Structure 1
Amino acid sequence: MKLPYKRVLAFAAALGIGFILAPQPDPPFTGHGDPAALTQLYQRWKNAHEQSASPDTLQLGLSYSKALSARFSPAAGRLQLNLRTGRLQAAVSDLPATGQYELWLLDNHSPSRQRLRIGQLEPTADGHRLAVQLDPQQMRGFTLDAAAIVQAGTSPDNGGLLFGSPSLLQRLYFTEHDWPGTTLAAAGGVSAPERAPFEFLLPKTAQAGNFGRGPQLAQLIARGQKIFTEETFGGNGRTCATCHRPDNNHTIDPNYIAKLPKSDPLFVAETRPELADLEKPALLRQFALFVANADGFDRPPVMRSASHLLGLANTLTFERAVNPGYGNGEFTQDEAYFNSHDSEAQQSGTHTQAIGWSGDGAPDGGSLRDFAKGAIKQHMPKTLIRAENIDFRLPTEDELDALEAYMLSLGRSSELNLANMYFKSPLVQNGLLLFNTKNNPKAADGSVIFGATANCNGCHFNAGGISSTTNANPTRDTGVERMRDQLHHLADPTLAYDGGFGQLQQNDCGPNYDEICFSDGSVSPSGTSSRPAGHHGLNRFNTPSLVEAADTAPFFHNNSVTTLEESVAYYSSDAFNSSPGAFTSSKANRQGKLDSSQVIAVALFLRSINVLENIRSSNLLDKKAMEQNGEPSLKSLKLAIADTQDAVEVLQQAVINPYPEALEKLQQALNLETMAGNRFYPGRIGLLRQAIALKEQARNLMVSGG
């Protein structure tokens, strides 16, 4: 018997199956990537860029590239190209005065990887410069993917010293921007009679067209997700996801590593003799630490953890000595690094981003896009010779577009508003109040009152990785590298000490001030450290977001602290309180002296905001799973289950569970999601709707506002 049409619809809806009259294309699988998050980031960038002094000028930072440079060079500079007039200028500082250098433009889209010599730089009082008028006929058919400063008589492929390339946000802007015809000067300075658009030169994304169309952006992110998780770049079998596991908050830890089979590509240093020194296997398994040649392949490597990538777009702004519209930073070295990479980056976000644990982890112009190149050469080669196109290949420009889109779309798209949040547990609310302050108060006589605040807000505004003073990601020396008896140094006493930001040799590193490391040469201002006289050199590392901290242990750049409570307690330790990070450059005292109950309160607050983020993320993934079919739906649901499981574990692992009723709701939601993971279950969409509702109820039991 045939059911009436309306009854069929009602029956299907009741089962939660969904019913469509015509086939509709499935939304692409983007994993944790959220097109809305990337759209918001781009719109912020676009607004700032168009308000800048020269929105029609393409600016690229030029610097040493761990992936591309023929040898290390401390030189750096910038390239500026006026896209309406074709006027190109390059300025570089710190190149040896005795050499001769050329500027080349690179087209990596063409099958022949076209390289175009623009001209020779002229020595000046402050470096080397070049100013030319591009010939539109000479440039016809050329796409500007990168620029290189090259030793004269060589090419970018064998003699390149400095490199830079446009970011994804620049490429998206050029893709959607309407560039009217422009009068250009032909070679020789004679005005061309025709009005020729310069659009052909601009680098664009593979998804050309209107950026505002969500499906196009989702496709770009989906391609990035696939590259991130599957592409080995002709190397040793590792992918980006080998160390940044999507089902483990895009990081990796010792507990996760312990569950992996010996055949996992993570362990190639154990299974391939030619890669025996790629990692230190015992330290990788015990501490989840990776060998990182952060200061160049000709210098001793350091050991660093794989930082998570969630909410990355919120912490990329590089702190400067002067931050337009905000307070001043604390180090002139930051300004020098910033200026040498990209003079427009603070407004545009195009380059000079705070990447890697030391804030300077990216080659080329210092952007997230460039970071992928160095990571491939570092972690994915077939041999330690690291010969390009033999031991690995670098990503194409289209692949870099997709990878950057995926990474920028991960996690939350904006910061919390702690001032608008009220936690319904008095324990957690007290932790919020302790956290959300900036300096220790003072008594009437000017003496510092300790124990009334945790002083977290100054560097972790709204629990993110942004300074409340500069609105940028700060790099600070908080004493971690001076800690005594760090476990990985006890396990391997031959390990080099990590100087953090910069590549200048420093001779007073380590807990006894007698080790060599490489830093930026900055020193703590007088009165801002209790270290011995003559030992005020800094080892600075960037400030991570704390919203995702509770389920991304261990902590710090070297995984030296294993639990959240220990990491909070560290800021009341002698190691921190004697460090320059315990003071500001104006000598404001931020030393911590919390008692054990206050440490627990702050940790409970951090656990709570992590659970709220888990709920947001898992609900978004549940909704994706409801919109998708087949394997993409199950993959989204698997990630949602991992996030909900994280929320459960973050509360279960607390010293005290402040929200037993919320935990029960989360466990119920997890059970429903697990049932929905059965692809043959007829009411799976209904189960996911119930799971989302339960998680929202859990949130409401925990907090109001925010």
Structure 2
Amino acid sequence: MFKQIALSCLLLTSFFSTLSYANNNDALEVAYNKFKNDLNGDLIFQNLHRFGFGYNPLLNTTDDKITGFIELNFATQQASGEINSTDPTLQADLWLVRNTVGSNGTVRPEIIDTRIKVGEFVFNGNNKHIVAPVNFNVEFDFDFVIVTPRGVDPVNGVLASGARTLFEKRFYREKFNQPSNFASLNAEGTVAATDDELVKFGAHLFFNETFGGNGRTCGTCHRAENNFSLDADFIATLDSNDPLFVHERVPQLALLEDATLLRTEGLIKENIDGFDDLANKFVMRSVNHLSSIAVVVSRASNTDPTPHGLGWSGDGSPGRGTLAEFVFGAINQHFPLSLNRTPGTDFRIPRQREVEALEAFQLSIGQQDFVNGMFAITFRNQTTQNGMNIMLSDSCFACHGSMFENNAEFDTGTVNRPSASHLPFDDGNDFEGSEDFNSQTLLHAADTAPYFHNNSAQTLEEAILHYASDAFALSPEGNRFGKIEFTPTQLADITDFMRSVNVLDNMQQVRKNFTYIAANPDKDSDAIVAMCKGDLNDVIRVLDDQNLYPQLKAQIQQVIAVLEMAKDFTGANKTSYFNYMIDVLTAGKDQIMLENPAQVF
């Protein structure tokens, strides 16, 4: 009865909500402006662009694992480079390639593409192959750096490659007054709350494009309604015909996954050390969420040729290791028609505009900039305030940065957790294995359980208490900090803070999406609504985990009820309902924050 009365009041009041909300959903532009401002503040980066390359299974024509870098010096108008190889017999050339936009060609170098030879690598006697500084147009607008065998055109042979990121290309095109070179697009459907055609096209690809493979898409594992991730509880809700389970239906794909560990632990198989022994050489890893990935990879390092460190141990992207190249590794690992994984046969190689669109969509998810001013908040609950103060004064940010922008790798002993003892041993990146794994964004921790690369901690409390465990104490980082002990009160305060900021973030993301729907009431918004419902249910669950803010929980439940009805409306009526829900969510912030001088969230 109470719910019916409350809902009736909400519906009545909604007709009197006449506020007009601007569309502030140009997330890609926000992310780019942050990238641009960072570069404009770094004169070294502006004048010296260091750019890595490495092995890419979709582009390489050999199995050589060559790495290195090229440097473009805009001040001297020269280029130089280096290969990390001690083999004096290696002979290779360095090229820059710009793919032809608007064609049906792939990102693999083709005859229709523009190709410029930078120079030849020469062994210098100091265990290095270098390209001496050469004069050429260093302002050339390129998509890939390519290393080829000596005297071979990139069309006919590739030893290594590295992709320029979407933002790097845009930045340098603006710097040198070059055309945008991005293809015009006509995105299908409305699965992203934006009018940016590149982002919309990327969203369409993310959730629908199989690249000629086994039926999986990016969204098969990165579920929008589940924080762009997977866990065992969510997997249990899926139909047996879901593309995630293709290995159970197609005998030749049986070794694509470990069927038991996928269903019981939410773990995906990764052949990070190669595909030569599929039955025995693999690791099992959780699916990274994508929230605020624009902040994590906001800037490619000027000194690290593999800058973005994606995946759980920095090995998620081939080539240079950027978000732009992540799709290559994903297609090869997860999409093949057969386990031969032959490019052009078991899947198709993506086109340049598809790579850029997928990168753009992922950069639009979640926060696009640091939540500057978050630590100036005064929270209503003293426990929340205490939790923030503990995190500020303790060792948390040595690895995690200020809540969510760090993506560095550390050995904290997670591979040796007793709860992971039944899993195939995962020693991290490379054959030697450093046992280093990426630190994760704490802002999104409360609604993305389970935790660590192996899903070995089921709750937020269990994940935090890892740092008081013997597994942590015996790790390199444990040796650095010692066990980080918490009293029960301190633990409750920390989780209160982490859950509170997570709730604020979820409500902010829902408001952004509702704002777009309110401004575009006649567009199909089913996919956006489904994502919002997932976020709102996350808020309920996170609040329930610690019995926080019961009045806010009741308001969120009412918003969910109104959303279920209003999602099918059109025109001004739909706008009115969504504006009202925005009002409720905006007011809900005040239940968590007493003072918010920077107006964050």
Same fold (TM over 0.5): yes
1:663 aligns to 2:524 (yes or no): no
Which residue of the other structure, out of 453, 475, 478, is the alignment partner of 1:579? Answer: 475
Which amino acid in the other structure matches residue 101 of structure 1?
Answer: A
Q: CA deviation at 1:373?
A: 0.9
Query: Hey, what's the Cα distance between the residues in 2 that align with 1:671 and 1:44?
Result: 42
1:297 aligns to 2:300 (yes or no): no
Which amino acid in the other structure matches residue 650 of structure 1?
Answer: V
CA RMSD after TM alignment: 3.2
User: Where does the alignment leave 5 or more consecutive residues of structure 2 unmatched?
Assistant: 1-13, 106-110, 186-192
2:11 corresponds to: none
Structure with greater helix share of residues: 2
Secondary structure of the 1:569 match is: helix
- Aligned CA distance change for structure 1 residues 87 and 304 (closer, same or farther; 3 Å): same
Which residue of the other structure, out of 551, 559, 570, is the alignment partner of 2:455? Answer: 559
Secondary structure of the 1:630 match is: coil
2:385 corresponds to: 429
2:189 corresponds to: none
- Is 1:464–1:545's contact at 8 Å kept on the other side of the alignment? yes
Query: Hey, what's the Cα distance between the residues in 1 that align with 2:562 and 2:569?
Result: 13
Query: Hey, what's the Cα distance between the residues in 2 that align with 1:429 and 1:45?
Result: 31
Superimposed CA distance per residue, residues 17-68 of structure 1 (whole angstroms, 9 cap, x where no aligned partner): 999xxxxxx989x8xx8234323333334424xx323635554212222443
1:390 aligns to 2:368 (yes or no): no
TM-score by length of 1: 0.73
Query: Hey, what's the Cα distance between the residues in 2 that align with 1:73 and 1:380?
Result: 23
2:4 corresponds to: none
1:499 corresponds to: 427
1:698 aligns to 2:594 (yes or no): no
2:52 corresponds to: 61
- Aligned CA distance change for structure 1 residues 157 and 540 (closer, same or farther; 3 Å): farther
* Bigger Rg over Cα: 1
Secondary structure of the 1:309 match is: coil
Superimposed CA distance per residue, residues 118-153 of structure 1 (whole angstroms, 9 cap, x where no aligned partner): 5432111331122475778xx99x963212222336
Which amino acid in the other structure matches residue 302 of structure 2?
Answer: E
Q: CA deviation at 1:156?
A: 4.2
1:228 aligns to 2:175 (yes or no): no
- Aligned CA distance change for structure 1 residues 82 and 378 (closer, same or farther; 3 Å): same
Q: CA deviation at 1:568?
A: 1.6
- Is 2:79–2:118's contact at 8 Å kept on the other side of the alignment? no
Secondary structure of the 2:556 match is: helix
1:451 corresponds to: none
Secondary structure of the 1:413 match is: coil
- Aligned CA distance change for structure 1 residues 132 and 256 (closer, same or farther; 3 Å): same
Equivalent residues in 2 for 1:392-411, closer than 5 Å: 392-411=347-366
Q: CA deviation at 1:264?
A: 0.9
- Aligned CA distance change for structure 1 residues 657 and 637 (closer, same or farther; 3 Å): same
Equivalent residues in 2 for 1:256-271, closer than 5 Å: 256-271=234-249
Secondary structure of the 2:43 match is: coil
User: Where does the alignment leave 5 or more consecutive residues of structure 1 unmatched?
Assistant: 1-12, 20-25, 180-198, 209-214, 319-341, 439-454, 467-472, 490-494, 506-517, 520-538
Which amino acid in the other structure matches residue 392 of structure 2?
Answer: N
1:625 aligns to 2:581 (yes or no): no
- Aligned CA distance change for structure 1 residues 87 and 680 (closer, same or farther; 3 Å): closer
- Aligned CA distance change for structure 1 residues 390 and 27 (closer, same or farther; 3 Å): farther
2:408 corresponds to: 474
- Is 2:118–2:134's contact at 8 Å kept on the other side of the alignment? no
Query: Hey, what's the Cα distance between the residues in 1 that align with 2:563 and 2:301?
Result: 49
- Is 2:315–2:321's contact at 8 Å kept on the other side of the alignment? yes
Corresponding pairs, count: 561
1:42 aligns to 2:35 (yes or no): yes
Equivalent residues in 2 for 1:86-485, closer than 5 Å: 87-109=78-100, 111=105, 112-114=111-113, 119-126=119-126, 127-131=128-132, 144-152=142-150, 156=154, 159-179=157-177, 199=178, 204-206=181-183, 218-298=196-276, 300-316=281-297, 344=302, 352-416=307-371, 417-438=373-394, 455-466=395-406, 473-485=407-419
- Aligned CA distance change for structure 1 residues 552 and 695 (closer, same or farther; 3 Å): same
Which amino acid in the other structure matches residue 289 of structure 2?
Answer: H
Query: Hey, what's the Cα distance between the residues in 1 that align with 2:449 and 2:301?
Result: 36
The structure, 1 or 2, with the larger RCO (C-alpha pairs under 8 Å, 6+ apart) is 2
Q: Mean Cα displacement is larger for which, 614-623 or 422-431?
A: 422-431
2:503 corresponds to: 611
- Aligned CA distance change for structure 1 residues 217 and 540 (closer, same or farther; 3 Å): farther
- Is 1:66–1:296's contact at 8 Å kept on the other side of the alignment? no
Secondary structure of the 1:150 match is: strand
Query: Hey, what's the Cα distance between the residues in 1 that align with 2:555 and 2:18?
Result: 24
1:322 corresponds to: none
Which amino acid in the other structure matches residue 399 of structure 1?
Answer: E
Q: Mean Cα displacement is larger for which, 610-619 or 226-235?
A: 226-235
1:599 corresponds to: 491
- Aligned CA distance change for structure 1 residues 266 and 158 (closer, same or farther; 3 Å): farther
Which amino acid in the other structure matches residue 462 of structure 1?
Answer: S
Q: CA deviation at 1:592?
A: 1.4
- Aligned CA distance change for structure 1 residues 264 and 131 (closer, same or farther; 3 Å): same
Query: Hey, what's the Cα distance between the residues in 1 that align with 2:194 and 2:448?
Result: 32
Superimposed CA distance per residue, residues 157-183 of structure 1 (whole angstroms, 9 cap, x where no aligned partner): 66422211211111112343344xxxx
- Is 2:194–2:516's contact at 8 Å kept on the other side of the alignment? no
Which residue of the other structure, out of 563, 571, 575, is the alignment partner of 1:685? Answer: 575
TM-score by length of 2: 0.85
Query: Hey, what's the Cα distance between the residues in 2 that align with 1:177 and 1:62?
Result: 23
